Structure 1
Amino acid sequence: MVNRRLATRGLALGVLTASAGWASVARAGSYEDFFLGIALDRPGIVAPLLAKGFDVNARNPEGLHGLYIALREHSFDVAELLLKHPQLEVEATSPVGETLLMMAALRGRLDAMKQLIDRGAQINRPGWTPLHYAASGTEPAPTRLLLDLHAEIDPRAPNGNTPLMMAAGFGSVDAAELLALRGADVTLRNQAGLSAVDYAGKADRSRLAERLEAIARRGRP
């Protein structure tokens, strides 16, 4: 944790330096302070800025939304503050198309996911989806939440990956089993010809691979 905080402080200092040319975005110092408060997870820095009218949807020099950064960097106290703001753009995306809901799902923040969804964040979308990101996380709860809210179970990412493939290779074993039990197609393959069983095997999850193979043979959970 100490090393993480030191690294985060270094990131914050980098933001201060890199954003020197962005002073016109807001009153002098507000822009820098906003992203410093996010990096250090200090609502006490961010809240007064928002109260004075600072744009909650401001982006850093890399084009990343403040809430996206807060979720990605585990600055969850600031994330909670930003989520409550009435002007928050719930469908804000990163330059590569990642949504706020995707990052909340990846980080396992059920509270943030529910708030974003209640405010209109899309569960189903073309390409990479929140379910792909939930399935890649360390806990099954985000996957269960999205499935309960009627997330499409086998959406295909641009490379052909499904949420089940992501869970089998990178996420929670429980999430992979949950997806399989809810009816995810175990037989699907991505553009590289890999299936969920292959991903489980590459991740040295032999029991999961056997379970998925059994489901594939039966053709149903």
Structure 2
Amino acid sequence: MSLRRRRQLLGLLLAAAVLPAAAGSYEEFFFAVRNDNASKIRQLLQRGFDPNTIDPDRGETGLMLALRSDSVRVADVLMNAPGVDLEARARNGDTALMTAAYKGSIASVQALLDRKAEVNRPGWTALHYAATMGANDIVQLLLDRYAYIDAESPNKTTPIMMAARGGHILTVKLLLDAGADATLKNDAGMTAIDLARKFEHADIAEGLDWRIRQATKR
């Protein structure tokens, strides 16, 4: 047998030995993420497992999945993992910060911001998600970190529109007091007042209408 042929066979044998191990590590990683098994995640990372590995179900990184699954200990490990990409996007465009805002986890939002996660980006933002959930502490935290208050989603929906749509009157007030423009319209031609009325939040619609009329008198 030639030397070249022996090398080819050796390569095939090594590949056969490595692939099952990699597949096993992949399954272990996402199982550990979902079950908040931080010690297993540390072991895998020490063995060289990539913290930015993508779960094919939703196109999320382990960190995004940990935040969505309320796996707090695993999220903390992955946030601090060397080489972790905090700006990675899931298939739907979400980032880790957006996921944490949607879940209402102020501790995770704070930790990501402390690690310089980007607050402002084109399209949906963490502020949209925090407003959607009526998470006022997170809304305020993001505003304190210079979140653009009238950020537009792909269909021009703003955070105050999402707060009005969801019936979160205190969030609407918070955003208004911070300077949100309640007269803006989305692609459907609807303002925050229109969305409040559509989803039967009459108190919000009336309050917004009153605030806008007062502002025009000045």
TM superposition score category, shorter chain reference: 0.7 to 0.9
Partners of 1:215 and 1:166 in 2: how far apart? 18
Question: What CA distance in whole angstroms lies between the structure 1 residues aligned with 2:194 and 2:69?
Answer: 31
Aligned to 2:149: 153
- Report the equivalent of 2:106: 110
Measured after TM superposition, the shift of residue 205 of structure 1 is: 2.0
Give the structure 2 partner of residue 14 of structure 1. none
Letter in 2 for 1:98: D
Check whether the contact 1:124–1:152 (CA below 8 A) recurs between aligned residues.
yes
Asked if the contact 1:139/1:175 (under 8 Å) is kept, the reply is yes
- The alpha carbon displacement at 1:172 in A equals 3.4
Deviates more, 1:115-124 or 1:64-73: 115-124
**5+ long unaligned stretches in structure 1:** 1-22
Residue 37 (str. 1) matches residue 37 (str. 2): no
Q: Tell me which residue corresponds to 1:193.
A: 189
Moved more, 36-45 or 23-32: 23-32
- Deviation (angstroms), 1:125: 1.2
Shift of 1:25: 9.3
CA 1:148–1:171: 2 relative to 1, 3 Å: farther
Matching residue of 1:167: 163
CA RMSD of aligned residues (A): 2.1
SS of match in other structure, 1:48? helix
Percent of pairs with identical residues: 43
Q: 1:50 is matched with which residue?
A: 45
Dislocated runs of 4+, deviation >6 Å: none
Offset at 1:203?
2.9
Deviation at 1:60, TM superposition (A): 1.1
- The residue aligned with 1:65 is 61
Distance 1:143 1:198 in 2: 22
Select 2:203's aligned residue among 187, 204, 207. Answer: 207
CA distance in 1, matches of 2:73, 2:90: 21
Conservation of the 8 A alpha-carbon contact between 2:167 and 2:196:
no
Determine the C-alpha separation between the residues in 2 that align with 1:25 and 1:219.
66
| Aligned amino acid, residue 114 of structure 2 | D
User: Equivalents in 2 of 1:33, 1:80: separation in Å?
Assistant: 18
Provide TM-score, normalisation by structure 1: 0.82
Q: Which residue of 2 aligns with 1:124?
A: 120
SS for the counterpart of 1:192 is: coil
Cα 1:216–1:58, aligned 2, differ >3 Å: closer, same or farther? same
- In the alignment, the residues of structure 2 paired with residue 165 and residue 25 of structure 1 have an alpha-carbon distance, to the nearest angstrom, of 49
The unaligned stretches of length 5 or more in structure 2 are 1-17
TM-score for the superposition, normalised by structure 2 = 0.83
| Preserved CA contact (<8 Å) 1:186 1:215 | no
SS at match of 1:27: helix
**What is the distance in 2 between the residues matched to 1:82 and 1:58?**
11
Mapped to 1, the partners of 2:48 and 2:161 lie a distance apart of: 44
For residues 108 and 193 of structure 1, what CA distance do their matches in structure 2 show? 29
Q: Is the 8 A contact 2:164 2:172 kept in 1?
A: yes
Q: 1:35 is paired with a residue of what secondary structure?
A: helix
Name which of structure 1's ranges 166-175 and 100-109 shifts more when overlaid on structure 2: 166-175
* Greater Rg over alpha carbons, structure: 2
Give the match for residue 98 of structure 1.
94
Per-residue CA deviations over 1:156-192 (Å, capped at 9, x if unaligned) read 1111100000111126332221001111011111111
TM-aligned CA deviation for residue 134 of structure 1:
1.4
Q: Deviations over 1:55-83 (max 9, x none)?
A: 11111123211111111222222212211
